[in-house]
Amino acid sequence: MSTSGITLGLTHSFAEACAGCYLPAQPAHVPQPRGLIFNRGLAQALGLDADALFTEQGAELLAGNVLPTDAQPLAQAYAGHQFGNFAPQLGDGRALLLGEVVDPKGQRWDVQLKGSGQTSFSRRGDGKAAVGPMLREYLLGEAMFHLGVPTTRALAVVATGEAVRRERALPGAVLTRIAASHLRVGTFEYFAARQDTARVRQLADYSMRRHYPELNAGDYADFLRAVCVRQARLVARWMAIGFIHGVMNTDNMTISGETIDYGPCAFIEHYHPKAVFSSIDELGRYAYGRQPNIARWNLTRLAEALLPLLDTDETRAVDIASRIIADFQTQYQSAWCDEMRRKLGLRDEVKADEALAQDFLALMETAQADFTLSWRYLIDAAAGDETRLRSLFPAPTQTELSHWLTRWRQRLGDAPDLVAMRRANPYLIPRNHQVEAALTAASDHNDLAPFRSLLAALSQPFDEHHQAYATPAPRDYTAQYCTYCGT
């Protein structure tokens, strides 16, 4: 593999600290790299030279045809519970870590190529990715970032000029993913399943230094607690914007608390707690309303992996872990109530707020009202104009809505926090039908214009513009909408 002469300023703290947790890997050569989308804002934030990187030569590098001179490409080992079943060996089957960049603020980020060919973990897979799913990951990551949700982001998507074979032949692509790290719950499970406590400890020590430097070294109970708190906040953020991850397997849950892997995710349209769109989630395991429970289930798997570090006596270790996991429920509930209070425009905390939020959701469910717009139009109502809000609720639900609004107004008082409400209730989310239309144009017709236009709109989700993108999908579209894992 030749090097490009381009240096990214890569460092290799993971490779150095976690020997034995990865295998070396090399990207595959592809025929014709062509940059589809470059993320200048992210490049700048990372302190990378966008003018050098986002060129034809840079596209060769971002496709994996040449390596940055300072890369040390590797595939990480991980296991995972997929739909509840343990898979002892997953790992980076179609991705490799080039190294880490440290941004001007001193924050360290993984630089990963996704779709760059086979590794030792590919099993029967080709290690490749297609344009549509990679652009989807780019778009959803940016949308989440601008919605204020912790997330991995994409630096670029480069078409490879090669067809990848799926149900039909699709244009291939490589995505460059930037993440606080790619450490997952499944990373710990991989070594715990092999009873390799030394490696579990190594990973925990490294994760603590990298993601939780405020903790005391060696305090693994605090580490577990800290991961639980971040996940509680993350899932509460998801719930507040109507995000359905779709495949919350433990290999898709990060230790850093970032959202990762946008395969079959979707946004809720009309409110329904059982909403699920993923084609393979037949039992609704990862439905919208189940996400907090699944997060706790996944964190229990992390706790199990960490047991030998919590206490040498297993009974005591289980006791410590159980108490931490039990606290997750409280942490989540409190994070969710905070989200709801901001959405409702409330400044202080009152016990009854939870019921107020729940009752609004119940009303939305009965009315089959659009989740995003119902919240957004509460801002109008707080300012005295109920027209748009009422337009979302059919006649039989109007009286109940009036009762709820009276209760809410009493609680709100004279000085609702409209600014906070605007920041908490986006006008724009990635509407499923708009996302699909943009991806089809890009993937099937090589037309990136709809994608760029949607991306631009979603980078300002709290402002009222691009009304077409705010309009809910037709009801029958949502009824048949189905997402795929994108492998």
Q: What residues make contact with Mg ion under the rule CB under 5 A? A: 252, 261
3-state secondary structure 419-455: HHHHHHCCCCCCCHHHHHHHHHHHHHHCCCHHHHHHH
Q: Of the candidates 242, 280, 246, which has an alpha carbon nearest to the alpha carbon of residue 424?
A: 242
C-beta nearest to Mg ion: residue: 261
Gap between the Cα atoms of 324 and 318, Å rounded: 10
φ, ψ dihedrals at 214, nearest 5°? -75, -15
- Give 125 or 413: the residue with its C-beta nearer to ligand AMP: 125
- Give 282 or 348: the residue with its C-beta nearer to ligand AMP: 282
- Give 75 or 361: the residue with its C-beta nearer to ligand AMP: 75
Q: How far is the CB of 37 from ligand AMP (least distance, A)?
A: 20
Which of ligand AMP, Mg ion, none does 126 bind, CB closer than 5 to 8 A by kind?
Answer: ligand AMP
User: What amino acid positions are annotated as catalytic residues?
Assistant: 251
Q: Of the candidates 238, 237, 212, which has an alpha carbon nearest to the alpha carbon of residue 226?
A: 212
Q: How far is the CB of 100 from ligand AMP (least distance, A)?
A: 20
Please list, in sequence order, all residues whose beta carbon lies within 8 angstroms of the beta carbon of residue 277, skipping any fewer than 6 positions away.
Answer: 244, 246, 264, 266, 432, 481, 482, 483
Q: Which region holds residue 377: left if phi is over 0, alpha if psi is between -120 and 50, else beta?
A: alpha
What is the binding site for ligand AMP (CB under 6 A)?
90-94, 121-122, 125-128, 252, 261, 263, 485, 487
**Tokens representing residue 343 in the block:** 């959405």
- Give 177 or 290: the residue with its C-beta nearer to Mg ion: 177
- Give 55 or 122: the residue with its C-beta nearer to ligand AMP: 122
Q: How far is the CB of 95 from Mg ion (least distance, A)?
A: 9
C-beta nearest to ligand AMP: residue: 125
Q: How far is the CB of 251 from Mg ion (least distance, A)?
A: 5
Are the C-beta atoms of residues 281 and 247 closer than 8 Å to each other?
yes
The residue whose two tokens read 């062509």 is: 34
Q: How far is the CB of 479 from Mg ion (least distance, A)?
A: 28
Which of Mg ion, ligand AMP, none does 122 bind, CB closer than 5 to 8 A by kind?
Answer: ligand AMP
Which of the 8 DSSP states describes residue 4? Answer: -
- Give 81 or 225: the residue with its C-beta nearer to ligand AMP: 81
The amino acid occupying position 344 is L
Cα 12 to chain centroid, rounded: 24
Q: How far is the CB of 120 from Mg ion (least distance, A)?
A: 17
Looking at the DSSP bridge assignments, the partners of residue 163 are 171
Q: How far is the CB of 342 from ligand AMP (least distance, A)?
A: 31
Number of CB atoms found within 10 A of residue 466's CB: 18
- Give 6 or 135: the residue with its C-beta nearer to ligand AMP: 135
- Give 26 or 333: the residue with its C-beta nearer to ligand AMP: 26
Half-sphere exposure of 108 (CA within 13 A, CB side): 17
Looking at the DSSP bridge assignments, the partners of residue 114 are 95, 175
- Give 188 or 393: the residue with its C-beta nearer to ligand AMP: 188
Q: Of the candidates 119, 66, 57, 132, which has an alpha carbon nearest to the alpha carbon of residue 93?
A: 119
**DSSP states of 242-281 as a string?**
TEE-S---GGG-BSS--B---SS-EE-SB--TT---BTT-
Instruction: Give strand ranges (E) for 166-204.
Output: 169-179
Please list, in sequence order, all residues whose beta carbon lies within 8 angstroms of the beta carbon of residue 202, skipping any fewer than 6 positions away.
Answer: 17, 18, 20, 21
Q: How far is the CB of 460 from Mg ion (least distance, A)?
A: 29
Gap between the Cα atoms of 473 and 429, Å rounded: 12
Which of ligand AMP, Mg ion, none does 485 bind, CB closer than 5 to 8 A by kind?
Answer: ligand AMP
Which of ligand AMP, Mg ion, none does 31 bind, CB closer than 5 to 8 A by kind?
Answer: none
Which of Mg ion, ligand AMP, none does 92 bind, CB closer than 5 to 8 A by kind?
Answer: ligand AMP
CA distances 364 to 2, 358, 374, 379, 431, Å, are 57, 10, 8, 16, 18
Looking at the DSSP bridge assignments, the partners of residue 11 are 100
The amino acid occupying position 436 is E
**Virtual torsion, Cα 339, 342, 348, 354, nearest 10 deg:** -50
Gap between the Cα atoms of 141 and 434, Å rounded: 15
Q: How far is the CB of 252 from Mg ion (least distance, A)?
A: 5
